[in-house]
Amino acid sequence: MHEMSYILKMVNMACEIAVENNAKRIKSIEVEIGKTTGVMPYYMYKYYPDAIKGTILEGSELICREVPVKALCEECNNEYLPSRENRYLCPKCGGRKAHIIEGKGVVLKNVTIED
């Protein structure tokens, strides 16, 4: 149930942004969830109402967007979406060494505030 810790972190970050910008309230927050995190948007939505109670976010909308895994091949510098069908190898050169460059975190992407 690590979704609750992530949602609380996002709510705290959004509250800090609201204070910095003298916002009266927050209309929505957008969160990007990387596929490798194991975080399920369903639970983020489920815990959000409890996490925002009594905060400047009360009544706001949560928008979750799942981000697919993108890799960068160390052998040919090709960016690609790893797939089981290709045994997660680089489709351009067949290389096995790659770095994940997207899809591995939970990020507060946008906060929509009301002045």
Q: Which domain holds residue 47?
A: 3-114
- Asked if residues 59 and 91 have their Cβ atoms less than 8 Å apart, the reply is no
The residue among 9, 74, 8, 71 whose CA lies nearest residue 36 is: 71
What are the distances in angstroms from CA 24 to CA 39, 40, 94?
A: 30, 30, 53
Task: Please give the model's pTM, rounded to 2 decimal places.
Answer: 0.84
For the chain, how many structural domains are there in total?
1
* pLDDT 10s digits, 88-112: 999 999 999 999 999 999 999 999 9
Question: What is the Cα–Cα distance from 108 to 13, expressed in whole angstroms?
Answer: 8
* pLDDT 10s digits, 11-65: 999 999 999 999 999 999 999 999 999 999 999 999 999 999 999 999 999 999 9
**CATH number of the domain where residue 85 is located:** 3.30.2320.80
* pLDDT 10s digits, 31-46: 999 999 999 999 999 9
What are the distances in angstroms from CA 70 to CA 6, 40, 94, 98, 102?
A: 22, 19, 16, 10, 5
Residue for token pair 């060494």: 97
